[in-house]
Structure 1
Amino acid sequence: MSENSIETLMNEERTFDPPEEMLENSNITAQQYEEACRIADEDPEKFWAERARELLLWKRDFKTALESDPEKNEYKWFAGGRLNASENCLDRHLENGKRNKAALIWQGEPEDEVRVFTYHMLHRKVCRFANVLKKMGVSKGDRVAIYLPMVPELVISMLACARIGAVHSVIFAGFSAVSLQSRIIDCDAKILIAADGVLRGGKTIPLKRNVDEALFECPSVEQVIMVKRTGDEIDFIEGRDTWWQDEMAAPDIEDYCKPESMRSTDPMFILHTSGSTGKPKGIVHSTGGYMTITAHTSQWVFDLKDDDVHWCTADIGWITGHSYTVYGPLALGATTLLFEGVPTYPRPDRYWEIINRYGVNIFYTTPTAIRSLRREGSQWTEKYDLSTLRILGSVGEPINPEVWIWFHEHIGKGKLPLLDTWWQTETGGILISPLPYVGKLKPGSTGHALPGIKTAIVRSDGSEASANEGGHLLITEPWPGMLCTIHNDDARYRRTYFERFPGSYETGDGARIDEDGFHWIMGRLDDVINVSGHRLGTTEIESALIAHPDVTEAAVVGIPHDVKGQSVYAYVTLRSGLDQDDETRTALCNWISEKISPIAVPEAIQFSEGLPKTRSGKIMRRILRSIAVGGTEFGDTSTLSDASVINDLIEGQKVLFE
């Protein structure tokens, strides 16, 4: 994108209209949207009850949409109702004409490794593995830990657990033995499903040694089921370890397993997410509410239709993969795509080649991925026909406006709706997002709260913030898909989400709402920098830095300052070949002064080749804050996709202050 275009973007708010030619066949039109908002405002429980009944197969209808006790922070959705998540994702599609339709397309990292499962085939695999688990003594309520890379067995395992009422806990395959151990202990897992290794970026990364190390102190685990992915030699512990393929081929394993009738309020899965202290929280989701929010948002936000190929690039170890690779698309009977590799291997065109190969219609990815591909140049996007794409989506962090524009222009060809979505592990599904064919889009904004979702921006004292004033983002009314609790820690659940602003869910994110009602996410509130009494969102400063033609990536943190209270410390990645010198720093400081304010000018700019990110693309700013002040304690770093960047950043900080 040209510097003049960036200049226009930074100085004038640009908006984009949805493509008119797609309005007629969309799942929700502007008129339907207005009616949905009216119903949700007047009677939110009626609105959600209608959506739950419309989208899901209930074995027994629920008595009430919501039973709540705000004083105890207890919210039970669709109490009295019974259903099964696996049945909703599989069985009903065998009866409605989708039996031989592709349910899951798996693209391995090697380009020639492809597996396709129809709904019939996936149903059979899930039933067989559910029977394997039952044979091992797993029953309703037992916890099963899953430590697998992005392979079909991961999806099969999740659906098999849901089928028999076991609570699955997926643990990202990039986690260390220590992180694996802590999560297994926290959920008290009975069975562990793991792989011998991971293929990533052309390398083979062993996993079994992590399993063996972790299980030294996990007495709850009775058996380990091993998936053979890399074929590397492993230590096999007789009596505890078994091979997936052997268990699935056993003559006593049948092709059908009756789905367990689950109460809507029964726990469905536990998923650990990082806390501000570095100690993970085991977020518990219940069956009925979670399945409602994922099916609802898949249909409305992504306009998902029967013949769509939906591709969410997120690892299933994170909530995005749970909701928008597995449960949402399959609940609606769509085709979901699962990719094992990374976007830049073996070439920076991997995403675009896959979109072209499989005719992907909905593409949901992270700003981090788009920034890295933007850095490689638009020539890689021009090699492929991307005309099957209909909707683009962004998730995981606020998307910088100029990255939004690049994504929109080079992938969407300036025509497709690009939806920046806001939600969390705790929310289960998307809560704030534009709808693809309703209203205008503003680059960098997550748009309006969806019908049935009530938000507020408040100051620290709880008073309502003015238009365009940053503050605490709250969800003021309960919604289906909200977390039930933190596993084994109800007190932390109440303290973290409900104590500071009674009656509302505290998201922990900062945001502002503009005069048109559009939400602008400022990032985690501990990422808001208070410089001489001026609250500056890190996202705003980062967006301005990335808008500079010489910058490909930036991260900003606040550090203590004797006079200002806090000052801005920036980590900046330049285009290759440029000088990382004081002259460049001065130019960037002048740029920030002009684009935002002299108040926002960084006190220090450290040039870096990489940033500490989780596999889902989130920058871990607590690590950056620690490095910026010369710290050496970083808490749990096992969630990082590449922990080696920490040493490089530490050395860079030392050089900067020599």
Structure 2
Amino acid sequence: MGAGGRTTTGDVVLGAMWRPGPAERERSRLLDFVAALGLDGVDALQVRAEADPGWYWDAVVRYLDIGFHRPYRQALDLSRGLPWAEFFPGGGYTYLTDAVIRPAAREPDRVAIVWEGDDGASRGLTTSGLAAEVSRCAAGLSRLGIRRGDRVGIFLPMIPEAAVAVLACGWVGAIIVPMFSGYGPEAVASRLRDAGATTLVTADGARRRGSTVPMKATADAALALAPEVGRCVVVRRTGQDVPMVAGRDTWWDDLLVPTTDDVPSDPIPTDANEPYMVIYTSGTTGAPKGAVHVHAGFPLKAAHDLAFCFDTGPGDTLFWLSDLGWMMGPWLLAGGLIAGATVVLFEGTPEFPAPDRIWELVARHRVTVLGLAPTVVRALMPHGDDWPARHDLSSLRVLGSTGETWNPTPWRWYAERVGGGHCPVINYSGGTETGGGIVGCLTVAPAVPGGFTGPVPGMAADVVDDAGRPVRGEVGELVVRQPWVGMTKGFWGDPDRYLATYWSRFPDVWVHGDWAEIGDDGWFLRGRSDDTLNIAGKRIGPAELESAAVSHPRVREAAAIGVPHPVKGECAVVFVVPAKAAGTGAGDDLALAGEVRKSVAAQLGAALRPDAVHVLSDLPRTRNGKIMRRLLRAAYLGTSPGDTSALENPAVLEEVAGMGPAG
């Protein structure tokens, strides 16, 4: 175990299923960075980075050749305290320089973005083509009256125009407010109102699972609830007839028609710490939090993590299944373009028209770096090994995952059946507010099923007990002790809530809200701390109960919650989704529930036997695959669910409602 509890690149790691070879070490951007600094390995880099984050991020800027148009006075200013740390003060930077302008000048014919639609349609943009599209869109936005600092809502499916709109807003100095393409009117309106947006960019509709999904109607209803938003730009994606409001609505195609108006030909020279994005993360009280991110923050953190965790750079083709409303959407776009990779955007879903849609996409576009949430892998695995085996997946070099904790069996399936046993699985966890990963894996370190190598390079992460003392071999709070590039600049319009959420537990320590454990074979996340159960004095994360439940051959997925108990204080209730081969009758469900209870008790001990196991048709989840345990608990107990706008399948909660104590 390395310094600070890190699993190092040289350790013998117990239970490792993948180990790096000479090829991974030879091409590693991280090891090249270490060598360029003259340091003795990754551990030495991490120790110095934790002691001096200003030194570290200044070195990163130089190594990645980040194009500041005005030099910064110093690397890090802590005069306002750690929560308000400012990197690169005085510097001038727009991330468009490294994402769009420089690539177009250096490699005009290289493919920057590849898009594949739900219906199989495909389109590519070279770096020069992307620059031209973004410049035209920026000119159109300027003609509409959008100015530096204005907030622009982005409510679009994953189509090329979404990437162009996001980048064009940065070009004119506007601040994007990306939103999940499946939101309803109130969810869209609440984010527009909170951000004080002046403009919304949407589409007539989207295509999903072979059907047309209306978006303009949702946008119109949202704008009726947020009448202060005076402009709406509409992309013609599906060709359906939609009403256009005179004086407010503009077709995208009209926006991009050049005029003789005098508009800037170059991106606005924004300050390094000028906001470029407000992205909302769901709150448990019904009030989403708008995380503020700046030009020299989130995009640089994304490019850094791609380079040093995923070893992604020029020559790679990067695909991460996401939506622009989740942080991995903007992360994919900004980080991938700055890293010099070709970015793949996908409008569709993993199982349409068949369970090999993702594998087909990987083979067609020769994807080298693939990112999927564990829940997507768990959904595809029961379809069998034949589906990935039908396709040539030999282009894959790195597999990524984020969004949920793993169970060992799907992790192994992903590594072996998709990665062919030769690809590292880079487990990666952070959050919307962190701009990227806190803990992760490295392509030059052994990989353990479901585990992490340790902190992402440059992140001073630790695990502490209730008193803030470091702990090893037991579950504690995941914390970060030093600031980092990509850290949010607070919640939009609510600095007190930001301080209360992350900085109020221990002095000058970011408390992330995850339970974690550092063991001899790596770091492991045990779930959100507000999801963790305390049964008769024993604290256990939902992932342990869920892994025990899904080890049953007839269980595909599981979610565990804690509910009040008169004797134990709290007890476990587990919800399971049966595998396709399982029966569907009431008798089958009761039998399966009983078997799962016994199986969990046999693995974890009788004290942790679930008080109840319930069979569901599905688990409540966001479209990016995150299981919403707090909504399960609220539905089961009959309490207020809080913010449900990100939920993809709300009907599941109706199933749960009749199962609880009040049911």
Give the TM-score of the pair, scaled to structure 1. 0.94
Aligned-partner Cα distance in 2 for 1:209–1:292: 36
Residues 156-305 of structure 1 mapped to structure 2, 5 A cutoff: 156-252=164-260, 257-305=265-313
Alignment partner of 2:493: what SS?
coil
In the TM superposition, what is the alpha-carbon distance from 1:41 to its structure 2 partner?
4.2
Return the letter of the residue paired with 1:110.
Answer: D
Contact 1:124 1:256 (8 Å CA) reproduced: no
The correspondence for 1:537, drawn from 541, 555, 561, is: 541
Aligned-partner Cα distance in 2 for 1:260–1:549: 57
Return the letter of the residue paired with 1:472.
Answer: E
Residue 7 of structure 2 is matched in structure 1 by none
Contact 1:198 1:206 (8 Å CA) reproduced: yes
In the TM superposition, what is the alpha-carbon distance from 1:212 to its structure 2 partner?
1.4
Residue 493 of structure 2 is matched in structure 1 by 488
Contact 1:472 1:509 (8 Å CA) reproduced: yes
Report the count of equivalent residues.
638
Contact 2:302 2:436 (8 Å CA) reproduced: yes
Contact 2:193 2:226 (8 Å CA) reproduced: yes
Alignment partner of 2:297: what SS?
helix
1:63 lines up with 2:73 in the alignment? yes
CA RMSD of aligned residues (A): 1.8
1:321 lines up with 2:326 in the alignment? no
In the TM superposition, what is the alpha-carbon distance from 1:334 to its structure 2 partner?
1.3
1:119 lines up with 2:127 in the alignment? yes
Residue 463 of structure 1 is matched in structure 2 by 469
User: 447-456 or 163-172: which moved more?
Assistant: 447-456
Alignment partner of 1:612: what SS?
coil
Aligned-partner Cα distance in 2 for 1:203–1:231: 13
User: 60-69 or 410-419: which moved more?
Assistant: 60-69
1:419 lines up with 2:421 in the alignment? no
Alignment partner of 1:422: what SS?
strand
Contact 1:78 1:289 (8 Å CA) reproduced: no
Alignment partner of 2:67: what SS?
coil
Alignment partner of 2:85: what SS?
strand
Contact 1:128 1:254 (8 Å CA) reproduced: no
Residue 84 of structure 1 is matched in structure 2 by 94
The correspondence for 2:512, drawn from 507, 518, 522, is: 507
Alignment partner of 1:557: what SS?
strand
Aligned-partner Cα distance in 1 for 2:210–2:24: 40
Residue 153 of structure 1 is matched in structure 2 by 161
Aligned-partner Cα distance in 2 for 1:326–1:129: 17
Aligned-partner Cα distance in 2 for 1:102–1:166: 26
Contact 2:597 2:612 (8 Å CA) reproduced: no
Give ranges in structure 2 of 5+ residues lacking alignment: 1-13, 35-39
Aligned-partner Cα distance in 2 for 1:196–1:168: 20
Residue 565 of structure 1 is matched in structure 2 by 569
Alignment partner of 2:256: what SS?
helix
Aligned-partner Cα distance in 2 for 1:63–1:183: 35
In the TM superposition, what is the alpha-carbon distance from 1:415 to its structure 2 partner?
1.6
Give ranges in structure 1 of 5+ residues lacking alignment: 1-11
Deviations 1:282-329 (A, max 9, x none): 000111122321111111111112111111111121111111x20011
Residue 8 of structure 2 is matched in structure 1 by none
Return the letter of the residue paired with 2:602.
Answer: E
In the TM superposition, what is the alpha-carbon distance from 1:256 to its structure 2 partner?
7.2
Residue 457 of structure 2 is matched in structure 1 by 451
Contact 2:593 2:615 (8 Å CA) reproduced: no
Contact 1:51 1:296 (8 Å CA) reproduced: yes
Return the letter of the residue paired with 1:43.
Answer: D
Residues 27-42 of structure 1 mapped to structure 2, 5 A cutoff: 27-29=29-31, 32-42=41-51
Aligned-partner Cα distance in 2 for 1:346–1:19: 37
Aligned-partner Cα distance in 1 for 2:609–2:257: 63
In the TM superposition, what is the alpha-carbon distance from 1:657 to its structure 2 partner?
9.0
In the TM superposition, what is the alpha-carbon distance from 1:106 to its structure 2 partner?
0.3
Return the letter of the residue paired with 2:490.
Answer: T
In the TM superposition, what is the alpha-carbon distance from 1:108 to its structure 2 partner?
0.5
Alignment partner of 1:57: what SS?
coil
Return the letter of the residue paired with 2:117.
Answer: G
Deviations 1:116-140 (A, max 9, x none): 0000000000000011111111111
1:574 lines up with 2:584 in the alignment? no
Alignment partner of 2:312: what SS?
coil
1:639 lines up with 2:649 in the alignment? no
1:360 lines up with 2:372 in the alignment? no
In the TM superposition, what is the alpha-carbon distance from 1:70 to its structure 2 partner?
5.8
Residue 104 of structure 2 is matched in structure 1 by 94
1:104 lines up with 2:113 in the alignment? yes
| CA pair 533-385 structure 1, distance change in 2 beyond 3 A | same
Aligned-partner Cα distance in 2 for 1:21–1:401: 26
1:389 lines up with 2:381 in the alignment? no
The correspondence for 1:605, drawn from 598, 613, 619, is: 613
Contact 2:18 2:421 (8 Å CA) reproduced: no
Residue 473 of structure 1 is matched in structure 2 by 478
Residue 10 of structure 2 is matched in structure 1 by none
In the TM superposition, what is the alpha-carbon distance from 1:42 to its structure 2 partner?
4.7
In the TM superposition, what is the alpha-carbon distance from 1:601 to its structure 2 partner?
1.3
In the TM superposition, what is the alpha-carbon distance from 1:220 to its structure 2 partner?
2.9
In the TM superposition, what is the alpha-carbon distance from 1:149 to its structure 2 partner?
0.7
Give the TM-score of the pair, scaled to structure 2. 0.93
Contact 1:28 1:300 (8 Å CA) reproduced: yes
The correspondence for 2:140, drawn from 123, 132, 139, is: 132
Alignment partner of 1:479: what SS?
coil
Residue 47 of structure 1 is matched in structure 2 by 56
Aligned-partner Cα distance in 2 for 1:252–1:315: 35
Aligned-partner Cα distance in 1 for 2:375–2:359: 16
1:26 lines up with 2:28 in the alignment? yes
Residue 442 of structure 1 is matched in structure 2 by 448
Aligned-partner Cα distance in 2 for 1:34–1:277: 40
The correspondence for 1:399, drawn from 385, 396, 406, is: 406
Contact 2:283 2:642 (8 Å CA) reproduced: no
Aligned-partner Cα distance in 2 for 1:42–1:173: 41
Contact 2:175 2:276 (8 Å CA) reproduced: yes
Aligned-partner Cα distance in 2 for 1:287–1:28: 23
| CA pair 290-576 structure 1, distance change in 2 beyond 3 A | closer
Alignment partner of 1:540: what SS?
helix
Contact 1:84 1:260 (8 Å CA) reproduced: yes
In the TM superposition, what is the alpha-carbon distance from 1:350 to its structure 2 partner?
0.1
Aligned-partner Cα distance in 1 for 2:79–2:528: 28
Aligned-partner Cα distance in 2 for 1:302–1:228: 35
Aligned-partner Cα distance in 2 for 1:544–1:64: 51
